Structure 1
């Protein structure tokens, strides 16, 4: 299981803020590897994918028409953290605190 640390705020500025949600991270398996599970269900399209670090839900990013990853974070209590599910990307985001996260060193 990966551990994460705060890298910056949503504006990209370094911050000394802590993310109280990091203890919610679980060792999860993605709900699908085919794309955004909600878009697949309704016939939608996505731009980039995010995986919930609490349950493994794979949803589409905020640049996608339906913004399923942030919708999941907004309606599912305790699921504020998601990582990029794009190949070659290794970062995460806390929707509640608007903080970017990187793997802990």
Structure 2
């Protein structure tokens, strides 16, 4: 449940960050949501890449249709760092403490 919550928050933060930069077509949100990296139910391989702090190529390819690569990395890097810290604190740290006790 925590992983899903963090993925959803990460998705919301990205949509907000990119939408605030410029006016985007109505289809942007739907197409962004349809990317495989947001599939946390299975989870997809690219969702697991995000969880590990790696950017799936299809995510950056999609975003390059609307933004410069430097802008994408500027926004994604801070959000990805926050996402990783949340996952570490909510999932991995708790499990490691319990494992070593």
TM-score clears 0.5: no
Q: Which has the higher contact order (CA 8 A, sep 6+)?
A: 2
**Which structure: greater strand fraction?**
1
**Which structure: greater helix fraction?**
2
Based on CA coordinates, which of the two structures has the bigger radius of gyration? 2
Q: TM range, normalised to the smaller chain?
A: under 0.3
